[in-house]
Structure 1
Amino acid sequence: MDVCWPYFDPDYENLTERVNGPSFHVCIDNESCNECTVVKVDSVNKQGFLLQVVQALTDMNLTISKSYISSDAGWFMDVFHVRNEHGNKLKDQSVINYIQQAIYARRELHDTGMVKTPTAKAIGAEISKEHTAIELTGTDRPGLFSEISAALTDLRCNVEEAHAWSHNERLACVAYISDQSTASCIDDPHRLASIKYHLATVINATTSKNADGNQNDQKGVHMAGLPGGDGTTSNIERRLHQLMLSVRDFNEPIGSICSSSLAVSMDSMEVGTNIIVSIENCNEKGYSVVSIRSKDRQRLMFDTVCTLTDMEYIIFHASIRSHGDSAFQEYYIRHRDGYTLHTEAEKLRVIRCLKAAIERRVCEGVRLELRADNRVGLLSDITRSLREYGLAVVRADVATKGEKATNAFYVRNISGNEVDMKIVESLKKEMEPIALEVKIDLSRQRLPGRAWSSFGDMLKSQIERFSHNFISTK
């Protein structure tokens, strides 16, 4: 005898568990897609957790080629399509297990309230017993990073690690320093005050005097050595984003002729050479919809999610996809107070901040990677040589491990023109036995408005190169 049973969805049991418990689940699917690995995260929604997941994937150097995000009704469901740094799906099971552990660890820290917005005191936590963390912000100029390095050497400080970004004539830098003689953390208040004063003098060398006639007000320099952060790469980069935002690098320098200055704004849309950002209101659902079109690259989603989070916007839904070298991102957001973006001024500020966040990491010029035995004053010597050859540092990543030092610099000509590779070859010969590797991004080697238009421009470049050799480092 036939028995009729009511229809039963085979995924029902799964769904009940996902909705009612456990409150957090990570699944990594390596079978359903031939080209990438799919990471699925289900969780009770908490503000800021999306950024924590993206940070965990970013710290693994994974590229997010596609993502779908939904966090309405108190539940967070996210799908990431990821590839490794070589553009392939993940095959190593130990790596897959580590990703799960990293996301679970981020969730645990988030639940206990230990993950907070990184600050000067939080950045140097993991090495606070051995090193002191410093932050520097200010108006950038050719040779400034070299001057900072020289000043730290004169102050008997070793630079154990440093990360610097330059964008729209602003500079942000996070560095870890130690005492030259003891190789330990600098915690003497008087010495810290002296270091802060001298670095502020270097950073503010071109600023005008204040009302008291004192040129150095110590702005732009912060010291830290207290616990409170996780010290990961993404945490440091998030802090660099915050520092750049604090010095308003989203505002174009007056009179600048760079790629970003080709952008125009109209009706909540900003169109640049490679970046289009627009904002519309979805009134029936109560969201503001942010759409971004740009060139695809690693860490792109991290840079945009990081900026929206730190500007106190909540992401409820999102769709991210890439095709070839192009990427499209769409975010449904509200401000933390529950309101959408109403005024054109607020929309324009968000547009410019997102555009700046995407541009900061993209550096025109040549990447130089230098490896050498670590010694006192090494960074100062390297950056001085770069300046003497007329090369300005627009981004730097400095690290030491044991007796070895690895320095990576994006450099450009002081006048902003294309780097002459003959100069780089001469530099390479002079800096022996330091191993120097040169990498060039040919797609961004020359920008509109950057070429020498006359013999006068060439002469100006040579004069600037000559004059910057005499900038005082004291």
Structure 2
Amino acid sequence: MKRVCWPYYDPDFDSLPERIHGPACRVTIDNESLEDCTVVKIDSVNKQGLLLEVVQVLTDMNLTISKSYVSSDAGWFMDVFHLKDELGSKITDQRIINCIQQAIVANRDTTLKAKARNSLESHPGRLKAIEMTGKDRPGLLSEISAALADLHCNIVEAHSWSHNARLACVAYISDQSMETPIDDLRLHAIEDHLTTVLRANTTWDDNANQQEVKPAGILLEKLGTMTNVERRLHQLMLSVRDFDGPSRAVIVNSITTGSDSDDEERKKASVSIESCNEKGYSIATIQCKDRRKLMFDTVCTLTDMQYVIFHASIDSRGGCAYQEYFIRHMDGCTLNTESEKERVIKCLEAAIERRVCEGVRLELCAYNRVGLLSDITRVLRENGLAVLRADTETHGEKAVNAFYVRDISGNNVDMNFIKSMKREMGAIDLAVKDVTTVIRPTSSERSKFSIGYMLKSQIERFSHNFIAI
């Protein structure tokens, strides 16, 4: 019998025109190829900032990016993400898988917005957003919240970062009555008062123009997700040049060697810029301790510095992260001068370091009221604790507060010191999480000192406002 041979038929041939001319974005989710993670592949028409938008969507859904490959030459964006859920496993919930596809294709699904920012949605039209930047000092957040309480303003939500003696804060405020919004005239008075607070003890040599408060009402509609708020905090920190802090290695965490007699080894972030002249790229290479939102922080910084990421390789294994970005200026030029390379290195180091807080995380939940944040931060300040980072949100009648604190002298906080505080606070529910690995020993005199007793006595007058988390 004569053998009949048919020409080879490529099953992807029919989809080739669609891949070239449309749809604008295609998302493929593979949950079978790998045992420990879910693979998400994205093909899309490219545009500046698209990578950041995709990373923001995945980060907002509390997904961890363990590996990624990016290519965006010739006007087409192709990306592969290896994703894990909050428990470090592959994504098995079909609803989450559907949300990933819908959110990326629709460029941020509206239902995700409402879910992520329900504390703002509950007060439509009544909130004013303000931004604050300045030179940080111990107790500054307490002074800011006290000033707002004196001005009869309710802090519905606030997010604050402190890094290299700089402070950036985005706050959403309303009138204490919650019946009427704050008008523009009163808002200007609030801005002037807060500016005075920020500039206290600031000399002209401290670059006073970095101490400012400005309205951000337009941001209220744009800041749809937590990563948008954090992106704005990155931008604010960049504007006050927090990367110009003391020259030192970026320490993102401590790891032990497994033996009590071994010295502690610090995993330091290493950032370098090299030139790839034959391809016309500058290559930014990052090696550091892996953590959540690391890719978001680095991609956000490069994008906001007006660099285009053409190719990227992200890998995380054994608790370490390796990132490589092939970048150019938006005008197509590479980083040619040593001063520019040094600036990019410093900015990436700062982006890695801002979110890392060596200290203790305190979580408190309370019935919301005017002056609550002021009372809490004042107690922390009066007992020698400096707030490195703060996140406070309102959910219905409850205010959820999270603070990263350290000893005001710069030493690590003794956990026994904090645990005694927790025990003696009695009915006040306080969740404590140590985010450092090594606690420096304290003197015997300090170990006998009871911070819990002092905190309890000062919080008693408003302790009935606290509820269980």
Same topology, TM > 0.5: yes
Deviations 1:311-353 (A, max 9, x none): 0000000000100110000011100111000000000000110
Alignment of 1:428-467 (within 5 A): 428=422, 431-443=425-437, 445=439
- Aligned equivalents of 1:335, 1:17: Cα separation in 2: 31
Question: Letter of the aligned partner of 2:18 in structure 1?
Answer: E
Partner of 1:69: 70
8 A contact 1:170–1:249 mirrored in 2: yes
Query: Residue 279 and residue 216 in structure 1: after superposition, are their counterparts in 2 closer, same or farther (change >3 A)?
Result: closer
Asked whether 1:236 is paired with 2:252, we answer: no
What is the CA RMSD across the aligned residues, in angstroms?
A: 3.0
Cα gap change, 1:128 to 1:352, in 2 (>3 Å): farther
Amino acid at match of 1:240: L
In structure 1, distance between residues paired with 2:339 and 2:294:
25
Give the CA deviation at 1:225. 2.4
Give the structure 2 partner of residue 205 of structure 1. Answer: 200
Alpha-carbon distance between aligned partners in 2 of 1:153 and 1:237, rounded to the nearest angstrom: 25
Is 2:216 the counterpart of 1:224?
A: yes
* 1:7-26 alignment runs, 5 A limit: 7-26=8-27
CA drift of 1:18 comes to: 2.1
Match of 1:263 in 2: none
Q: What is residue 151 of structure 1 aligned with on the other side? A: 147
1:69 and 1:78 in contact (8 A); partners too: yes
CA 221–431 in structure 1, closer or farther in 2 if over 3 Å, else same: farther
2:399 counterpart of 1:405: yes
How do 1:224-373 residues align onto structure 2 when only pairs under 5 Å count?
A: 224-226=216-218, 228-253=221-246, 259=251, 274-373=268-367
Q: CA deviation at 1:128?
A: 5.9
Distance in 2 separating the partners of 1:222 and 1:177: 13
Give the CA deviation at 1:308.
0.3
Q: Point out where structure 1 has 5 or more consecutive residues left out of the alignment.
A: 110-123, 261-271, 470-474
Shift of 1:134: 0.9
Pair 345,444 (structure 1): closer, same or farther in 2 beyond 3 Å: farther
Give the deviation of 1:65 after TM superposition. 0.2
Distance 1:151 1:443 in 2: 36
Residue in 2 aligned with 1:193?
188
Flag the 1:375–1:438 CA change in 2: closer, same or farther, 3 A: same
Q: Is the 8 A contact 2:163 2:354 kept in 1?
A: yes
**Residue pair 1:200, 1:217 contacting (<8 A) in 2 also:** no
Aligned-partner Cα distance in 1 for 2:89–2:366:
32
Please tell me whether the aligned partners of residues 372 and 434 of structure 1 are also in contact (alpha carbons under 8 angstroms): no
Q: Deviations over 1:33-71 (max 9, x none)?
A: 111111111111111111110110010011000000000
What is the DSSP-based 3-state SS (H/G/I as helix, E as strand, rest coil) of the residue aligned with 1:292? strand
SS across alignment from 2:77: strand
One-letter amino acid of the counterpart of residue 81, structure 1: H
Q: Does the 8 Å CA contact 1:138/1:247 hold for their aligned counterparts? A: yes
2:211 and 2:121 mapped to 1: Cα distance?
A: 23
Cα deviation 1:357-392 (Å, max 9, x = unaligned): 010001000011111222221111111111111000
Give the Cα–Cα distance (whole angstroms) in 1 for the partners of residues 425 and 187 of structure 2.
Answer: 32
* Residue 432 of structure 1, CA deviation: 5.0
Change (3 A) 1:128 1:244: farther
CA distance in 2, matches of 1:442, 1:235: 27
* Aligned residue runs from structure 1 range 33-72, under 5 A: 33-72=34-73
Q: Is the 8 A contact 2:358 2:436 kept in 1?
A: no
| TM-score of the superposed pair, with normalisation by structure 1 | 0.83
Residue 388 of structure 1 corresponds to which residue in structure 2?
382
Q: Any gaps of 5 or more consecutive residues in structure 2? A: 111-119, 253-265, 459-469
SS at 1:250 equivalent: helix
**Distance in structure 1 (CA, Å) of the matches to 2:29 and 2:108:** 16
What code does the residue aligned with 2:158 have?
A
Does the residue aligned with 2:222 lie in a helix, a strand or coil?
Answer: coil
* Secondary structure at the counterpart of residue 244 of structure 2: coil
Letter in 1 for 2:93: D
Task: Give the 3 Å change call, closer, same or farther, for CA 377–183 of structure 1 in structure 2.
Answer: farther
Is residue 372–residue 435 contact of structure 1 (8 Å, CA) maintained in 2?
no
Residue matched to 2:102: 101
Distance 1:175-1:385 versus aligned 2 partners, 3 A rule? same
Report the secondary structure of 2:66's partner residue: strand
- Cα deviation for residue 21 of structure 1 reads 2.5
In 1: Cα distance, 2:181 partner to 2:421 partner: 34
Q: Is the 8 A contact 2:24 2:44 kept in 1?
A: yes
Task: Give 1:257 deviation, angstroms.
Answer: 10
Q: Which residue of 2 aligns with 1:140?
A: 136
The 1-side partners of 2:337 and 2:210 are apart by: 36
Relative distance call for 1:429 and 1:303 in structure 2 (3 A) is same
Q: Equivalents in 1 of 2:276, 2:241: separation in Å?
A: 29
**How far is 1:10 from its partner?**
3.3
Give the corresponding residue for 1:169: 165
Query: Contact 2:250/2:269 (CA < 8 Å) preserved in 1?
Result: no
- Give the letter aligned to residue 154 of structure 1: D
Q: Secondary structure at the match of 1:106?
A: coil
Letter in 1 for 2:75: G
Cα 1:171–1:383 change in 2 (3 A) is: same
Q: Give the stretch that moved more between structures: 6-15 or 290-299.
A: 6-15
> What's the % identity of the aligned pairs?
63
Q: Give, in whole Å, the separation in 1 of the partners of 2:208 and 2:299.
A: 36
Find the aligned partners of 1:101 and 1:4 in 2 and give their Cα distance. Answer: 43
- Partners of 1:430 and 1:376 in 2: CA distance: 26
Secondary structure at 1:406 match in 2 = strand
Residue number in structure 2 paired with 1:120: none
